[in-house]
Amino acid sequence: MLYLVGLGLADETDITVKGLEIVKKASRVYLEAYTSILLVDQSVLETYYGRSIVIADREMVESNSDEILRDAQTEDVAFLVVGDPFGATTHTDLVLRARELAIPVAAVPNASILSGIGAAGLQLYNFGQTVSMVFFTDSWRPASFYDRIKENRAIGLHTLVLLDIKVKEQSLENLARGRRVYEPPRYMTVGQCAQQMLEIEEEKGEGVYSPDSLAIGAARVGGKEQKFVAGTLRELCDADEVMGPPLHSLVLLGRRTHELEHEFVRDFALNKETWDRIWKAEYGKQ
């Protein structure tokens, strides 16, 4: 059996009892380590689980899945995923490959950012499409997220923005030269995300959002040092010091924000007077 085991959002104790039992009995244990990270090191997981763990980077998962699936017809293999196996990141390709090899597959769900963001005080059924924000470069500024936000905003729904992480990435030069030299890990911040959003709005000019649009920065959701900071996109551009270390996410509020949501989120506001003024003028009419 191939087991896809959700680890939850924060540390070694977030794994479910069912998931831990699978990890302890599996022949091999892999940790998918390129779409998200836990807030603890691999060694902490290994001590708590009582098992050695093989890090499965992007190259292994996408190009060498046969190694992960080796002997899984006759042995139990555990593939650990931060959050939920089919939450913010799905591993459809791995499951389809297992099916081709007649390997049974089972998933053990857990909390993901899609559910954990509810701790910010927004009602989960008021969220629209989730979008991703990648690091811009001088020659690459993808803006597909903009149209998805536009669709969400048109019907008044919140938008969860998942922020880019770069783990074991190669520079274009090293990639072209075939050198296995990897860049230091990078994690996008709420400030970087807000800035890039405003840059794209300035380019598009469609008024989907503005520097005064209300948003929530979220950091280390589900962890002991979970942090939410609410403000305008302009304010969040300069809020990284308040937000603290990764991982970060951002939520752009929809215009159908309920009064109870406003009251809950207001406690996180960088400037409560500004928050109240904009909410009353732009959001409190619904």
For the annotated binding site, the residues are: 9, 84, 87, 112-113, 163, 221, 248
User: From start to end of 19-130, where are the E strands?
Assistant: 28-32, 54-56, 77-81, 105-108
The count of structural domains within the chain is: 2
Long-range contacts of 37-43 (CB under 8 A, 24+ apart): 37/82, 37/165, 37/167, 37/246, 37/247, 38/7, 38/9, 38/10, 38/11, 38/12, 38/14, 38/82, 39/10, 39/11, 39/220, 39/223, 40/10, 40/11, 40/12
**pLDDT at residue 110 greater than cutoff 90:** yes
Tell me: do 120 and 233 sit in the same domain: yes
- Give yes or no: residues 131 and 62 share one domain: no
Residue with tokens 């752009």: 252
Q: Output the domain CATH number for residue 104.
A: 3.40.1010.10
The pTM (predicted TM-score) of the whole model is: 0.91
| Cα(45)–Cα(24) distance, integer angstroms | 12
Domain that holds residue 218: 114-283
* Portion of the chain with pLDDT greater than 90, in percent: 75
Q: Indicate whether 11 and 142 sit together in one domain.
A: no
Is the pLDDT confidence value at 171 over 60? Answer: no
Average pLDDT, the chain: 91
Domain finish residue from 93, 111, 129: 111
Q: What is the CATH number of the domain that holds 207?
A: 3.30.950.10
Residue 130 confidence class, pLDDT cut points 50, 70, 90 = very high
Residue 245 has what pLDDT? 94
Band the pLDDT of 111: cuts 50, 70, 90: very high
Compute the distance between CA of residue 260 and CA of residue 255 in angstroms, rounded to an integer.
14
101 and 170 share a domain? no
- Say if residue 286's pLDDT is above 60: no
- Range from 61-65, 116-120, 140-144 carrying the lowest mean pLDDT: 61-65
Region 248-253: what's the mean pLDDT? Answer: 97
How many of the other CB atoms lie within 10 Å of CB of 201?
Answer: 20
As annotated, the binding site for S-adenosyl-L-methionine includes 9, 84, 87, 112-113, 163, 221, 248
The position carrying tokens 């937000």 is: 243
Identify which has the larger pLDDT, 206 or 170: 206
Environment class of 242 (CB within 10 Å of its CB; exposed 0-12, middle 13-18, buried 19+): middle
Does residue 206 share a domain with residue 232?
yes
Q: Which of 111, 140, 169 is the last residue of a domain?
A: 111
